[in-house]
Structure 1
């Protein structure tokens, strides 16, 4: 998945994150990307990438130190902050993702589809990911939105669907100096008299981003037991979308 141009760009960022430049570093990263693309168990990685256990240990260590999140942030250079689009999407949690040896919540919850995780995503005007949050599938969009909005730089407009219909959420957006383009629900007392439906039509940009992320099987279905490891996989996928930029 990494041609020479992509690798030269990514390698500099890996070194900035204090990742040791071993001779097999490129193949290690390729092995991680292969697993992201096909969603296979780590032990089923083709031998061409090297020892599967060594690749997993390096991925797990980098995930523990949040290096993949930092790499994603380093790749997301100069996003278009005029418009921001937000949405959430369910991800089916595979049976292998259950049973983590930890007392902490691993962002797997019950929803209509059973055991699920939810990705709350914010994209810029070019449909490129800029922030995301991982929660259990039972967490609604309004509950996860405040933390997500607080981490975003100032923008002119934030666009979201009816799932974000909340006056206190609109107030938070207004306090950040942005305009909220969020339609009211059918039973909303405020109505949609001041709704910018022309701009709302561009909300498909966040749906496009989800479609691009979920082309990778390890993102479309969660196989990782630990939240931080699945979060790292999503960060890798988001960062990969930025590589051609």
Structure 2
């Protein structure tokens, strides 16, 4: 086993959730070797063609990652791994008491831009082509091409949901979409859990629409009020409504999502985007999140 490869314990937790066949009676090549190759590229950020030969053909590793990113396999694997932790939810392995939301900007390499706007097809399947974002989640900032990762993290510093957008997009409009992506299966069956007990976020998420959404879903929240919003509320007097509550002690736990971002950016392929397609980069970030869940 090389440095950074899946250990036996991690592989035992991951193997039951992997696809069994490629379709029409075909068989996948060794999953463990291919996934170790994907993790090696995640950690080092090298081009796919430069993968060491011990992982097999580089194209096999690349196609496996691209295909599982396109058909949502990585997302299903992440939910399955979360369900394993949910089995011990009563023991506190998933901390729903305080869930934090934040975002981070990743520099997009020059080779990540210029993707042609055409649908991607999954090899060997007669399914509908994968629909792409028209912008491929690549934005222009002062430093060049950038991509932003929005994520929700539970109290144990592990991602619950991930959303990819262009780098110049704001944080407040993405709060509702990223919260709607939380789907943690329950061990006894039924609907997955989607609502945390308490949500923490910085003042970038302070807006009337976000607070209205959180109150409607009965999610208590600690989000500081921006100075201009507070001044506007005070100017309107009694029509401005009551001030937003703020729990300073709970707000100190917002560092948990910042630590989660720090761990995700420990993967060089996440800290710098090299993937042209938005769905492939989403799969890259999801693989890093799956590794954090397996390592915990």
Q: Under TM normalisation by the shorter chain, which class is it?
A: over 0.9
- In structure 2, the residue matched to 1:43 is 49
Give the Cα–Cα distance (whole angstroms) in 2 for the partners of residues 128 and 16 of structure 1: 27
Answering whether residue 206 of structure 2 is matched by residue 202 of structure 1, we say: no
Select the residue among 8, 11, 14 that pairs with 1:10: 14
Q: Where does 1:1-245 land on structure 2 (aligned, <5 Å)?
A: 1-15=5-19, 22-77=28-83, 78=86, 79-102=94-117, 104-152=134-182, 153-189=194-230, 190=233, 194-245=245-296
Query: Which of 1 and 2 has greater Rg?
Result: 2
Is the contact between residue 155 and residue 177 of structure 1 (CA under 8 Å) also seen in structure 2?
Answer: no
Q: Distance in 1 between matches of 2:10 and 2:223?
A: 37
Measure how far apart 1:127 and its partner are: 1.3
In structure 1, list runs of 5 or more residues that go unmatched.
none
SS in structure 2 of the partner of residue 151 of structure 1: coil
Moved more, 132-141 or 73-82: 73-82
| d(CA) in 2 for partners of 1:17, 1:89 | 36
- The count of aligned residue pairs is 245
8 A Cα contact 1:149 1:173, kept in partner = no
In structure 2, do the counterparts of structure 1 residues 17 and 156 end up closer, same or farther at CA, with 3 Å as the change threshold?
A: farther
Q: SS at 1:119's partner residue?
A: strand
Shifted more, 226-235 versus 185-194: the winner is: 185-194
C-alpha separation in 2, matches of 1:34 and 1:67: 19
